[in-house]
Amino acid sequence: MTVLTVALGGGRDYPIHVGGGLLARAGELLAPLARGGRAVVITQPPIESCYGAAVRDALVGAGLSVRTLAFPNGERSKTLRTVARLYDGLYEARADRRTLIVALGGGVVGDVAGFVAASYLRGLPYVQIPTTLLAMVDSSVGGKTGVDFRNGKNLIGAFHQPRAVLIDTNTLATLPRRDLRSGMAEVVKYGVIRDPDLLDFVTSRVKDLAGLDPAALSHVVGRSCRIKADVVAGDEREETGLRALLNYGHTVGHALEAATRYRRFRHGEAVAIGMVSAACIGEAAGVTPSETRAAVAGALKAQRLPLAVPADVPAASLTGLLSLDKKAENGKARFVLARGIGNVALHGDVCEEDVRAGLALQAREYGGGDAPAPAEGAA
């Protein structure tokens, strides 16, 4: 097991435990955080059926009383309605301020359960047990919680840091391949923003990673978490611009998810396309060298991730949505752009012509034939 620390200071540091088989140690590692002796596991049915019993047994074995609340799968469940149902569950379970919320699942579970923990009784302690690669390397660390609202992504939420993150890489064995690839998009992102060696590793060890080689997986998960933890510790509430760098690829990615009503793409797939958009827009703006653009696209292609905005999503609908993104300032979309691999910066002044020229470059270079399967839930 590797233990990393998110160094927030002020007594709020928390550990990220990474290793194979750690669910069995959930009692030992997490039960001390449930000071009232009670835990409520928030999860979704497929995860509950694979891992619910292991987590429950471990927590009960450590002396906790445990309730489980499950809500339906998919991004479409990331709503205030789901949150209200979970509040009902907590009320019926007589949860109090010392009840530990355990978020067991992917990014949707983590964001929803984290927001419930942030808001019920003005804040309960919670821990993350991420079970998708995306949640392991990204959403479980950093304390951003929330739900979607009126076709806007994560518009309602709160910063609420977990007390611990427990990553059992063995849980990836049951994850659909499509979700595994989707998570690799975020690993590629860390390589682009901070770590050329990680980008090389992901690009050259595709087979090992796809085959769930434990050492290769532990390496990319640990390295990604280290980068995320350092960035979060340096700019917890996205105030200095450092944490905003984690949004590389997310400006167009989020717009694409909204334009396709959160049904067509996995989050990581949309971010993969968005990273290529950012590279092309950066090139159009004279910031990103073409070899950097090619390296970004090459790493994503190696992971069999989509590179192009599908032809049936008009550029106009994307550029319209960009101004609705939370990160837009004065109607202009902000972009994180790469000067090179491992060297990115936030640009608040990208003009609309460069956005259009970049999207046109992306369509020319990468368009045609690589749009992912349309249905949510497809493996």
With contacts defined by CB under 6 A, name the span among 2-10, 53-61, 86-94, 136-144 that binds ligand NAD: 136-144
Assess 182 for contact with ligand NAD (CB under 6 A): yes
Which helix (H) or strand (E) segment holds residue 168: the answer is strand 164-168
Closer CB to ligand NAD, 71 or 366, in the complex: 71
Examine the residue annotation and report whether 250 is marked as an active-site residue of this protein.
yes
With contacts defined by CB under 6 A, name the span among 86-94, 104-112, 213-221, 289-297 that binds ligand NAD: 104-112
Interacting residue with ligand NAD among 4, 66, 103, 175 (CB under 6 A): 175
Strand 2-6 to 14-19 pairing: antiparallel
* Whether the Cβ atoms of residue 73 and residue 47 lie closer than 8 Å to each other: no
Helix, coil or strand: residue 135: helix
Interacting residue with ligand NAD among 50, 54, 206, 345 (CB under 6 A): 50
Residue 57 CB neighbours (<10 A) = 15
Assess 292 for contact with ligand NAD (CB under 6 A): no
Count the residues of the shown chain that bind ligand NAD, applying the rule CB under 6 A: 30
Rounded Cα gap, residues 59 and 42, in angstroms: 14
Strand 14-19 to 38-43 pairing: unpaired
* Whether the Cβ atoms of residue 232 and residue 137 lie closer than 8 Å to each other: no
With contacts defined by CB under 6 A, name the span among 127-135, 191-199, 214-222, 289-297 that binds ligand NAD: 127-135
Q: Spell out, one character per residue from 74 to 93, where the chain touches ligand NAD: x when CB under 6 A holds, - when not.
A: xx--x---------------
Interacting residue with ligand NAD among 68, 82, 99, 139 (CB under 6 A): 139
Rounded Cα gap, residues 126 and 115, in angstroms: 10
H helix count then E strand count, the chain: 15, 11
With contacts defined by CB under 6 A, name the span among 26-34, 172-180, 320-328, 354-362 that binds ligand NAD: 172-180
Q: Which of 94, 122, 150, 207 is catalytic?
A: 122
CA dihedral 187, 102, 112, 270 (to 10 degrees): 20
* Least Å from the CB of residue 228 to ligand NAD: 9
Structure-block tokens of residue 301:
């292609």
Nearest residue to ligand NAD, scored by beta-carbon proximity: 107
Interacting residue with ligand NAD among 169, 171, 224, 251 (CB under 6 A): 171
Rounded Cα gap, residues 77 and 100, in angstroms: 22
* Least Å from the CB of residue 176 to ligand NAD: 6
* Least Å from the CB of residue 50 to ligand NAD: 5
Interacting residue with ligand NAD among 48, 111, 354, 365 (CB under 6 A): 111
Q: Which of 181, 189, 223, 267 is catalytic?
A: 267
Rounded Cα gap, residues 301 and 237, in angstroms: 32
Which helix (H) or strand (E) segment holds residue 18: the answer is strand 14-19
> What is the SS3 string spanning 288-307?
CCHHHHHHHHHHHHHCCCCC
Q: Which of 163, 181, 236, 247 is catalytic?
A: 247
Rounded Cα gap, residues 61 and 29, in angstroms: 12
Residue 332 DSSP label: B
Q: Is 242 exposed, middle or buried (0-12, 13-18, 19+ CB in 10 A)?
A: middle
Residue 170 CB neighbours (<10 A) = 18
Rounded Cα gap, residues 256 and 199, in angstroms: 24
Q: Which of 250, 264, 266, 347 is catalytic?
A: 250
* Least Å from the CB of residue 133 to ligand NAD: 8
Assess 300 for contact with ligand NAD (CB under 6 A): no
Assess 154 for contact with ligand NAD (CB under 6 A): yes
* Least Å from the CB of residue 183 to ligand NAD: 7
| Catalytic center residues | 122, 144, 186, 228, 238, 243, 247, 250, 254, 267
Interface contacts to ligand NAD, rule CB under 6 A: 44, 46-47, 50, 73-75, 78, 105-109, 111, 131-132, 134-135, 138-139, 142, 144, 154, 171, 174-175, 179, 182, 266-267
